Structure 1
Amino acid sequence: MFLLGTDPASFPAEPPADPLDPAVIAAHDWAAFSELEELTDHWSRPGWTDGSRAYYWMLTFPDDRRLAALAGHCQEELAPLGLDPVPPDGLHITLARVGAPDDVTPGQLDSLARDVGGLLPAAFSVHAMPLAGSRGAVRLSLGPWEPLLRLHHALVEAGRAVGMAFQKPTAAFRPHLSLAYNNRRRPAAPVIQAVSRLRALPAVELSVPAVQLVELRREGRTYRWEVGKNVPLG
């Protein structure tokens, strides 16, 4: 198991007491979200304006109808808040930023995808659990974390081997799956209250047979991507 550490740039800053227990993870995410007093504008992050592009490792779920149905139901219930919903084919788990197109060569991407194959864990599944959120999004908790941490660690090691230093170490990784992005500064209480009414919905099991290396781009107030490499696990 990996040693998780405190990281003020992550949310929650503190890791859960037991990243192997989905119930503990869900309670920890909710406690951190419910303590927020203000939400920030997700789209105001420096260096990530409309049209920006970057390579990322992600997990995508374009054919998962149960996840799409859960997301759609939550988004419909939260619609009066004016959040920016993630489209059904845009649901994803962000793992690690590889770099901007100007900084990464096609040869490096090929080497990265090739070298990571021998480091990846076996295929696994995780549960998308009760709804919670962060400073700038409403999102599903994920659990258990262990297979996601192992996958993240493998990606970091593969990046290091080809001379790429990813922004976040595994110790600061906080797995989640966003359903809607907050688009302005606002008091957190109304959003927290609305999200609390959806926390009794059943979890959805997500199968993870492969990891995707994508070119991610921002289009207005949504994310789109092209899959460059689809690397099977195990």
Structure 2
Amino acid sequence: MARHDWSAFCQLDSMHSHWKRPGWSPTTRAYYWMLTFDAAAFGEQLELCRQAIRHLPFDLIDDEGLHLTLGRVGPAHDIGQAAAERLAHRAQHRIPEAFDLKAAPLTASRGAARYSVAPWTPLLALHEHLAQATTATGLPPLKPTSHLRPHIGIGYCSQTLATRPVRNALAPLRKLPPVTVRVDSVDLVLLRREPGAYRWDTVHSLPLAPFIEKPRSGTGENLSIPTS
């Protein structure tokens, strides 16, 4: 997946401001499902990656802002607190088990610099579970699981720029080893935008089922990190 993400980015000629995406205003508040991460799990690598693009027009994501978006539930004025409570209660029932995720430095998209993540299988299973819970609660459906493109951002592009200097800054980082993080909860949050950043209030943090170590069979999913 890391190789695929990098190849896709290398096909782009330019990046564009993440903040010009439609559907947001200073007063927008929306419920989202997301995974949040302790920056300490990334060690010194995270700051190394941020420093590598600090000279470029990115709004860097600080330690408190690390996340992986799983899905938008809907605007707060349509959902309401009572519906959010029902959704959290429904989602906790038969929730999938915890899992380990590998975050591989570093690639980008049209609007952000980010870690690639793998394996996708438990992420897709968790998304499907949350999608079913959302629909069962009577709320508008999440986007299809097949549309999910999970990643962990480290910086949002703040203006149009050519991709070449970004590729030049990111390429050396791709020789770094992937970081393993344990995913043992999923958060229902009320998300907002602030200048150059996303912030949120956690409505519910749902623990995943206990992780059960399974016997290894084969090599598992491949997280390939090219050397150039």
TM-score (norm 1): 0.86
Contact 1:97 1:166 survives alignment (8 Å): no
Contact 1:57 1:98 survives alignment (8 Å): yes
Contact 1:75 1:180 survives alignment (8 Å): yes
Query: Partners in 2 of 1:114 and 1:28 — Cα distance?
Result: 37
Q: 1:130: Cα distance to partner?
A: 2.4
Is residue 196 from structure 1 mapped to residue 165 from structure 2 by the alignment? no
Contact 1:159 1:165 survives alignment (8 Å): yes
In the other structure, the counterpart of 1:78 is 53
Contact 1:43 1:49 survives alignment (8 Å): no
Q: 1:68: Cα distance to partner?
A: 5.9
Query: Partners in 2 of 1:53 and 1:104 — Cα distance?
Result: 10
User: What are the superposed Cα offsets for residues 20-60 of structure 1, whole Å, 9 maximum, x if unpaired?
Assistant: xxxxx111111101111111110001121334221111111
In the other structure, the counterpart of 2:82 is 107
Structure 2's unaligned 5+ residue stretches are 210-228
TM-score (norm 2): 0.88
Contact 2:39 2:46 survives alignment (8 Å): no
Contact 2:134 2:142 survives alignment (8 Å): no
Structure 1's unaligned 5+ residue stretches are 1-24
In structure 2, relative to structure 1, the CA distance for the partners of 1:220 and 1:50 (3 Å cut) is: farther
The 3-state SS of whatever aligns with 1:50 is: coil
The 3-state SS of whatever aligns with 1:184 is: coil
Q: 1:139: Cα distance to partner?
A: 0.3
Query: Partners in 2 of 1:188 and 1:167 — Cα distance?
Result: 31
Contact 1:131 1:140 survives alignment (8 Å): yes
In the other structure, the counterpart of 1:55 is 31
Q: 1:69: Cα distance to partner?
A: 3.1
The 3-state SS of whatever aligns with 1:132 is: strand
1:35 alignment partner AA = Q
1:191 alignment partner AA = V
Query: Partners in 1 of 2:27 and 2:81 — Cα distance?
Result: 20
In the other structure, the counterpart of 1:160 is 135
1:217 alignment partner AA = R
* Matching of residues 203-218 of structure 1 within 5 Å: 203-218=178-193
Query: Partners in 2 of 1:96 and 1:188 — Cα distance?
Result: 27
- Mean alpha-carbon deviation: is it higher for 117-126 or for 66-75? 66-75
* Matching of residues 1-234 of structure 1 within 5 Å: 25-61=1-37, 63-67=38-42, 69-234=44-209
In structure 2, relative to structure 1, the CA distance for the partners of 1:89 and 1:43 (3 Å cut) is: same
Runs (4 or more) in structure 1 with deviation over 3 Å come to none
Q: 1:119: Cα distance to partner?
A: 3.7
The 3-state SS of whatever aligns with 2:173 is: coil
Query: What CA RMSD, in Å, does the superposition of the two structures yield over aligned residues?
Result: 1.3
Query: Partners in 2 of 1:73 and 1:191 — Cα distance?
Result: 15
1:27 alignment partner AA = R
What percent of counterpart residues are identical? 42
Query: How many equivalent residue pairs?
Result: 209
Query: Partners in 1 of 2:147 and 2:23 — Cα distance?
Result: 21
Contact 1:96 1:166 survives alignment (8 Å): no
Bigger radius of gyration: 2
Query: Partners in 2 of 1:26 and 1:77 — Cα distance?
Result: 19
